[in-house]
Structure 1
Amino acid sequence: MLNMQELPSIRALRTFIAVANHLSFSKAAKELSVTQGAVSKQISHLEQQLGQPLFERHLNGIRLSSVGLRYLPQIAETLEALQNATASLRQLDQVDEVLTVNVTPSFASLWLIPLINRFAEAFPNIQVQLKTGDGPVQDISNENDIVIRCLPLAKYYENATLLCRENLRLVASAELLRKTPIRHSDDLAKHVFLPQVTRPQLWEQFKTHHDIEFPMAFYGVGFEHFYMSLAAVECQQGLALLPDFMVEGLIAKRELFNPLNITMESHYGYYIIVPNYKRHARKVCVFNQWIGEMLS
């Protein structure tokens, strides 16, 4: 193992990255707010330490040597990791506990993120780290404290508790309804419906639930997540079925409309999944209670 005196300094490595990015000593000096001579000196010293040239010098400029090309991505990644570790440590110094919550992308973007500041204000010493995932949970004994997934309703999932059933609302943009109003159910035949690629059965259930007999016209693009369907609705691309708790705020602000007040209960629910050994942790308990109250 190399001793500390044999390792390049952080300053030398930052200088190397700056010169490599600009392929110019003068531009690197400007970025680092030092003289061109200081940059040249750092690079020369670094090359002496490594015993190999990092740059090829030519009359019309410089370029990375084969050694420099191999060295650059490794050094850039290492410095990024060092910065991340330092920043994380400084942030964690301000909190007592870190709670890692893994949720579906739509649950996060359309509901949890707009409300998470309320949890942060109520529990300032618990830092929530949000991650996204989707589909069945194969292994919960990893770095996640809590996993939230939308799953088919069932009497029992291991380590899971039902947060709420999924109730879907038919939604449209104001501009789309202005162009083609929906005053009664027959008017739905004039519209295009947005496919949900992960649950293509939803529109068939919708037809059955509301005794719709006309052939439905579907938009030419299917969407994997509800937040994608919402974006398509806002772009006037058609009608979508979206969970009520994700869109009720937009409907209340009249940014989105639920024509004819049409709803449908799906056969899905949102489950909170926690490993047994974490169930009684304070941070898990307070978050479970908070999110249950917010969804009730």
Structure 2
Amino acid sequence: MRAFEAVGRHMSFTAGAQALTVSQSAMSRHVSSLEQLLGKPLFERGTQGLRLTPAGEALLPVVSKCLDRMEETINTVRSARDERRPLRVHVPPSLLYQTMLPLLRDFHAAHPDIRIDVTTSNGIGLPPGHLDMAIVFDRPGVDDKVTDLLRMVRVAPLCSPSTAALHQGKPIEAFLTDAELLHMKLDGEPRGLLWSSYADQQRLALDTANGMAFDTMFSAVRYAMAAGGVVLADIDMYADEIAAGLLVMPFERIGTDGFGYYLKTHAEDLADPAVLLFREWVIAHFASGATSAPLALSA
């Protein structure tokens, strides 16, 4: 298994052998033995190098994760530490800052024995790396993870009261043409993806190529509140700011472009009480429809 994982990680028998400090012929024998045991090839060996077969693609991430878990457990036993490993949880940045920080605080207060390591990245779908659970921003899809829909995203153009007053009386197309559009960039996606999708859905002729772009919706919204411009934002995530008059929704033109927030978990991890507890906690929070006041952030 270790030989297969090393070769699959490096996609090379030579590099895998170097990583494990064994001979290339030994690596080849180990992988061949595993293939004989399974009765299926794990690699396609060609002139352009190695490629995983469907069986190899299915087996590699499971083997990698199991070996990592074994190593973590062995290191814990060696150091005589009587503590659980932390849960590795991914949360998109704007959801983390606006919604999840107080939720994580409350969960930690209720379950101080469960440690959580939080990572964030601004893309669509699952990020790379070894994770126990991930909240992702994505459209519906099918994969090998246990997937729970937390909520679908509803967006609308939002701006400061002064920006709305500056363009008062204009129809929505003229309003958005004359105001500066603020963008949220998504890793690996076109710059104006979200505005373009909204314009298509609302049948608006907009030039979505211009305007300032930010790496998080949180930053774009803060800029709209302080400096101007119009941001296409999640109206449920920023319901408190809208209710307080810090943000204005000039038009009741709410879009649903198919994106939502999903919680993804490995099926085999549901046997872990900490994973199960955190999953139930997150699902219950979103099911209640409650909004969490964001934690105060220093300037």
The DSSP-based 3-state class of the residue aligned with 1:272 is: strand
Give me the whole-angstrom Cα distance separating, in 1, the residues matched to 2:277 and 2:105: 15
1:30-65 CA-partner distances (Å, limit 9, x unpaired): xxxxxxxxxxxxxxxxxxxxxxxxxxxxxxxxxxxx
User: What percent of counterpart residues are identical?
Assistant: 19
TM-score (normalizing by structure 1):
0.58
Residues 1:261 and 2:249 aligned together: no
What is residue 22 of structure 1 aligned with on the other side? none
The answer to whether the 8 A contact 1:182-1:259 is kept is no
Distance 2:167 2:154 in 1: 25
- 2-structure distance, mates of 1:148, 1:243: 16
The separation in 1 between residues aligned to 2:122 and 2:183, in whole angstroms, is 18
The amino acid of 1:132's aligned partner reads: T
Residue 202 of structure 1: which of 194, 209, 214 is its match? 194
Residues 233-244 of structure 1: matches in 2 within 5 Å? Answer: 233-244=224-235
Amino acid at match of 1:153: P
Structure number with bigger Rg: 1
2:152 corresponds to which of 165, 180, 185? 165
Corresponding letter in the other structure for 2:258: H
List per-residue Cα deviations over 1:13-45 (Å, max 9, x = no partner): xxxxxxxxxxxxxxxxxxxxxxxxxxxxxxxxx
SS in 1 for 2:197: helix
Q: CA 1:146–1:217 in structure 2 vs 1: closer, same or farther (change >3 Å)?
A: closer
Tell me the residue number matched to 2:132. Answer: 145
**Structure 1 counterpart SS, 2:256:** strand
* Offset, 1:231: 2.5
Q: Is the 8 A contact 1:194 1:240 kept in 2?
A: yes
The number of residues matched between the two structures is 201
Match of 2:58 in 1: none
* Aligned counterparts of 1:243 and 1:152: Cα–Cα separation in 2: 15
Shift in CA distance, 218/157, structure 1 to aligned 2, threshold 3 Å? same
Closer/same/farther in 2, CA of residues 146 and 262 from structure 1, 3 Å limit? same
Structure-2-length-normalised TM-score: 0.58
Give yes or no for the alignment of 1:100 onto 2:92.
Answer: no
2:261 partner letter:
Y
Local SS of the residue matching 2:246: coil
Shift of 1:223: 2.2
The match for 1:118 is 106
- Paired with 2:94 and 2:171, the residues of 1 have a C-alpha distance of 30
Alignment-derived partner of residue 81 in structure 1: none
Shift of 1:218: 5.8
Aligned match of 1:6: none
Of 270, 275, 280 in structure 1, the residue corresponding to residue 261 of structure 2 is: 270
Structure 2: runs of 5+ lacking an equivalent: 1-78, 288-299
2:12 — aligned with what?
Answer: none
Matched, 1:181 2:172: no
User: Where in structure 2 are the equivalents of 1:1-296 lying within 5 Å?
Assistant: 98-135=86-123, 136-137=125-126, 142=130, 144-154=131-141, 156-161=142-147, 162-181=149-168, 184-185=171-172, 186-198=174-186, 200-213=192-205, 215-216=206-207, 219-296=210-287
Q: 1:150 to 1:98 in 2, by over 3 A?
A: same
CA contact (8 A) 1:169 1:258 kept: yes
Distance 1:150 1:284 in 2: 20
